[in-house]
Amino acid sequence: MKRFLLAILLILTVLTASAQDTLRDDAKVRRNVKIVLGTEATFYAASMTGLYFAWYADYPQSSFHFYNDNAEWLQMDKVGHGVTSYLVGSFGYELLRDAGLNENRSIWLGGTLGLAFLTTIEVFDGFSSGWGFSWGDMAANTLGSAMFIGQQYLWHEQRITLKYSFHTTNYPNYRPDLLGENFLQQTLKDYNGQTYWASFNIKSLFYNHKESKFPAWLNFAIGYGTTGMISGFDNQSYTFHGTPTPPFHQRKREFFFSLDVDFTRIPTNNKFLKYTFKVLNIFKIPFPALEYNTGGEWLWHWIYF
């Protein structure tokens, strides 16, 4: 989940740069677009360099190779790839539009930013002996970008938004080295506590949203999560600091049905609130939720994070 953390940093950089006033005459548009692309290129180079020395340089390197991890973590990591690619593409598009670039160019140049960002990290993986270039990851990255580009090209808005939520679990107690030793690490590493959501905007999908009085900000969300995982492929016993971890947890897929808020559809003329809402829209807000899991259980959560 190092990719997700870097994506958040990239999004914050995008928002900082896009807080400038929008200027529309050709000369100023060209200047703004150059600033945007320069900001992205600078962050890209700095983040990739920092990532290499902070993460990959400490692990043995190898010749470029592939690795099939499609069965790992009940595909939660693949879903995370898709959501990350979608989010980075979304903010890449917003940045270019605020700079004054036209819609189609913003869609293609901005919408593919997540794919370019994550492909570089995948290449790094390909040269690391501990990982490898994963075609499954690349497929998820591509689908995430396509999810944004397709909607923006077809509707010129995002009627289905991909989001993230997290709650703490007990599983890091068994393997804190793998699942995180503190809250921040666990938000990135503990797939048992992560949920990824497709949040459907009800008004734009099912009503004439120019005339209907249905709340524009109200969404219906479908989530995917997992539980019972203390390793990628199976739950065989491991030893951590001399204490064996129990292998008896049942690995289950979880599907959630809930309501959500699309913060970007809350009208405001305040620029600070506008960009705050964009950041908040990355996350699915806590709400009551109905769960079905592959253990055959239907569960009700009065509040689900």
Over residues 55-84, the pLDDT tens digits come to 677 778 889 999 999 999 999 999 999 999
3-state secondary structure at position 9: helix
At residue 57, the 3 state secondary structure works out as helix
Whole-structure pTM value = 0.87
Block residue for tokens 């917003």: 94
Q: How confident is the model at residue 130 (pLDDT cuts 50, 70, 90)?
A: confident
CB 172 within 8 A of CB 240: no
Structure-model confidence comparison of residues 162 and 271, the more confident one: 162
Alpha-carbon distances of 39 from 18, 48, 121, rounded to whole Å: 10, 14, 19
Domain residue spans of the chain: 1-157, 159-305
Band (pLDDT 50/70/90 cuts) for residue 18 is very low
pLDDT one-digit tens code per residue, 216-267: 999 999 999 999 999 888 887 666 666 666 667 889 999 999 999 999 999 9
Q: What would the two tokens of residue 12 be?
A: 């914050």
Separation of alpha carbons 294 and 106, rounded Å: 41
Whether the CB-CB separation of 78 and 84 falls below 8 Å is answered with: no
Please count the helices (runs of H) and the strands (runs of E) in the chain: 10, 8
